[in-house]
Amino acid sequence: MEAPFAITPTLTGTQVALVPLGPEHVDGVMELNADAEVGRLTGTHASFERAAIEAWCSSRDAATDRLDFAVLELVGTSAEFVGDLAVVDLDVDNESCAFRIALLAAASGPRRCC
């Protein structure tokens, strides 16, 4: 049987896209890591060097036990990194899992749409 999280899909809405987290998102993840409020809200007590974040982002496509997404705000023809989210702790028997999201402060500011 294939691992339930073997493939991370791309999910696109009208204002936001969830794309597989990868090396192209290192700068955004670095910004999340530097935000004390994000650390407090996600329970992250460590800070990480760039090399560790590069390794983490580069390894996400091989993960089969979780889904890691970059959250991109879609504005016109551009897509801006505004956070990341993870679906983790899959319990197949109970058909449940945990969800964690971290958003930059800019993501909660005034909306540029509607």
| CA 5 to the chain's CA centroid | 15
E strand intervals along 1-114: 11-12, 16-20, 67-75, 78-91, 96-103
pTM summary value:
0.88
In sign, the C-alpha dihedral spanning 80, 39, 4, 107 is negative
Mean predicted confidence (pLDDT) in 7-24:
95
Q: How confident is the model at residue 111 (pLDDT cuts 50, 70, 90)?
A: very low
pLDDT value at residue 110: 54
Task: Give the separation between CA 75 and CA 84, rounded to whole angstroms.
Answer: 17
Report the mean per-residue pLDDT for the chain: 89
The most confident of 20-24, 46-50, 73-77, 88-92, by mean pLDDT: 20-24
Which pLDDT value is given to residue 102?
93
pLDDT in tens, 35-76: 988 888 888 888 899 999 999 999 999 999 999 999 999 988
The residue ranges of every structural domain in the chain are 11-108
More confident residue, 107 or 15: 15
17: burial class by Cβ within 10 Å (0-12, 13-18, 19+)? middle
pLDDT at residue 106 tops 60: yes
Q: Out of 3.40.630.30, 3.40.190.10, 3.30.70.920, 3.40.50.980, select the CATH number for domain 11-108.
A: 3.40.630.30
Please give the average per-residue pLDDT across 22-46, as a whole number: 92
Residue 108 to residue 82: CA distance in whole angstroms: 9
pLDDT of 25: 98
Distance between CA atoms of residues 102 and 83, nearest Å: 5
